[in-house]
Amino acid sequence: MRKHSVKSAAIVVGVLLVAACSTNKTEGGSTAGGSCDTSKGTLTVGVIAPQSGGLSALGLGIKNSAQLAVDEANEKCTVKGYKLAVDTQDDEANPAKGAQAATKLASDTSVVGVIGTLNSSVAQTVQPILFEKKIVQVSPANTNPSLTRGENFATAPARAFANYFRVCTTDDLQGPFAADYLVNDAGKKKIAIITDGKTYGEGLATEFAARVKAKGGEIVAQEKVGEKDTDFAGVISTIKAANPEALYYGGEYPQGGPLSKQLKDAQLNIPLMGGDGIFDGKFIELGGKDGDLATSVGAPTESLPSAKTFVDAYSAKKYSDAYGAYGAFSYDAANAIIASLATTLGDGGEWSEDKRDALIEAVGKYSASGATGDVAFDEFGDSTNKVLTVYQVTAGAWKDAKTGEFAG
Amino acid sequence: MSILLQQLANGVVQGGLIALIALGYTMVYGIIQLINFAHGEIFMVGAYGSLATYTWLLPQGIKDSWVLSLPLMLLGGVVVAVVIALIMERFAYRPLRNAPRLAPLITALGISVALQEAVRTFYPDATSALRFPRVFAEGNLALGPISVPWSGVLIIVVSIVLSVLLQVYINRSRMGRAMRATAQDPDTAKLMGVNPDRVIVLTFVLGAALAGVAGLLYGSYITNVNIDMGFQTGIFAFTAAVLGGVGSIRGAVIGAFIIGLVKTIGGQYMPGGTQYDYVWIFVVLILVLVFRPQGLFGEPERVRA
């Protein structure tokens, strides 16, 4: 008998531990109601982004910024008769977890829209689930072009999902923008490419490689690493043989940082360049070195006059995590949903699921000046704001090197 | 050719690391026929233990010199790994010692998840990868066309030295003889005056200590740690133990070096790149098991009552 109870106790403890860690808390606005009329109840803005795991630094910034926008809307009584709340679901940067998160939000009739996801690969599983329920989705961070313009985005663009929008620009601009900088401004002609095999990294590297060739550069090696690899000695030895002048990494900082460090350890002293996926302080902490480069969407948040209000408000809230690369975008995404919701409901409107179509239409027509500049969407749901910035690690911190629109 | 040599060197470094962990799998299996799936997590906990020692216990003066900080961190990591392993043995495995074999196996999986989640929840900032200090000489050992970071050289040397010491200890010492006796026939060993609890505890302690050493060496070589590292490396180590013949010390070490080499060479020279290195590892494993089901150095399984 004792044996059995110990055994079941061990299993129960294990299960509880797992359950305790995966529970997601619903966080309501901290300024509950105030003087606003919230008689009609609570509407929910969903957030799907990594709250744990390697990419949580970016995901927490997304969550906090969305929370900030919702808190402000509650204070200003933007949506008449309703209180807004944020429901954050952790996708752990994992497409399967993202699908679960989307299913959970989709079954909640009070959900008006979803902000997310961070990863393009997660967006691929989230999009169809939210589309079925006609829930508007605005991503602050997905940069893979096929998410809006379909598989043949370059030749025959076709809107992939009517409910999907994004406030950041796309990799078919980001990749070439990086290529122009690396080949023209930095003068690197022989470039090696490493990707992590995920939707985002592969797409970005493909666009990058095409532009490098068009600009007269040469791709001397192209390698892949596994999503969970930590020892890159093998690929580094392989690319080292090709004598590259720079390495372009299509992937994210949990591997990009250590990869840069191991390049140096292998005495291959070349800069590593990546996209918005490596543009985070954590990249430097994990081994990113001076001279490494990254492109990211938008202009540097700190330098934008339009972002000052956001940055000040974010700092005033004293969140424990930085807003990160996508905080301002998440803030704009949330405001796009909230403002469109206010337009859809008008002064006395009641929320019901039938209103979701009208909300999608309202977001499509939304146009305002946000923290990241002008926020509006084209016929595919892409942002009309196509500004990109090259950043370089200088004295242990990211510093902007060049801001502009991709010239084509 | 020089690239191939370099890749072989990379593979040997990986193999050394895997060997240190594979020893723990193979010893525990040899004594109590348990595949201790939580052993990879002991390795992870060891790495976090030595990182914690570095972050919170060592004064700045010691941190600056790896000659002092390396042994102290090693001590910290090994102590944490051993303590966790002792708790695990006492409260999870000992009560199940006479239970059907599946029960401790499932428990091991449960502990593995529990340890990962415990570190994720309670270690500050462990939700994402943490930077680990190098705590060894920077730079590389250059041997003709091959260059291996000193921290990688350390892995190779330490893994070989420790496995030889372990082999000698088990073959020569009194406790080693008790371990071998218990592995061969626990009941008769007990009749001969061997205390099985002591032997089993010692086995877990030795395995955990080696895993703790591996944790520190991994951290110093890769320069960052994350909570998934135990699962990843644990799978390779377990495979190495099976390949070499579970229960055999020599088999685990040789199996580990084979796995390290197959992983690197397969990842670099076979179609699919590193994303398919698992495939080649398991192809080799299956091929070996088809022709030698007991593994390279294992003894054919006796049917136990």
To the nearest 10 degrees (0 to 180), the angle between helices B229-244 and B196-222 is 120
**Chain A residues within an 8 Å CB radius of B143:** none
Residue B199 Cα distances to A92, A162, A192, B40, angstroms: 42, 66, 53, 21
The complex's ipTM?
A: 0.87
pLDDT value, residue A28 = 42
- This prediction's pTM: 0.86
Q: Cβ contacts (< 8 Å) between B2 and chain A: which residues?
A: 241
Cβ atoms of residues A45 and A70 within 8 Å = yes
A250 to chain B, minimum CA–CA distance in Å?
Answer: 14
pLDDT digits (tens, 9 = 90+) for A238-289: 999 999 999 999 999 999 999 999 999 898 999 999 999 999 999 999 999 9
Phi, psi of A376 (to 5 degrees): -160, 165
**Is 90 exceeded by the pLDDT of residue B101?**
no
Please report the domains of chain A, with CATH numbers, ordered by start residue.
Answer: 27-169+304-377 (3.40.50.2300), 171-297+388-405 (3.40.50.2300)
Are B91 and A10 inside 8 Å of each other by CB? yes
Residues of A in contact with B96 (CB under 8 A): 3, 6-7
Q: Which of A162, A45, A164 is nearest to A112 (CA)?
A: A45
Residue bearing tokens 């078919």: A172
Quick one: pLDDT at residue A52? 86
The reported pLDDT for the residue numbered B18 is: 96
Strands of A182-256, DSSP E: 190-195, 218-224, 246-250
B197 residue type, one letter: D
Asked if A21's CB is within 8 angstroms of B120's CB, the reply is yes
Alpha-helical (H) ranges within A222-354 are: 233-240, 253-265, 281-285, 308-317, 327-345
- Looking only at the bridges linking them, the beta strands covering A164-166 and A111-116 are unpaired
Q: Give the whole-number percent of chain B exceeding pLDDT 90.
A: 76
pLDDT-derived band at A54, boundaries 50, 70, 90: confident
Candidates A10, A233, A258; nearest CB to B224: A258
Burial of B111 (0-12, 13-18, 19+ CB in 10 A): buried
With 0-12 / 13-18 / 19 or more C-beta atoms within 10 angstroms meaning exposed / middle / buried, residue A245 is middle
Q: What are φ and ψ of residue A372, in 5° steps?
A: -95, 10
Average pLDDT over every residue of A399-403:
93
Quote the radius of gyration of chain B (alpha carbons, Å): 19
Q: Name the B residues in 117-136 with CB < 8 Å from any A CB.
A: 117-118, 120-121, 127-129, 131
DSSP character string of B62-126? HHT-HHHHHHHHHHHHHHHHHHHHHHHIIIIIGGGTTS-THHHHHHHHHHHHHHHHHHHHHSTTT
pLDDT digits (tens, 9 = 90+) for A121-163: 999 999 999 999 999 999 999 999 999 999 999 899 999 999 9
B117 chain-A contacts, CB cut-off 8 A: 17-18, 20-21
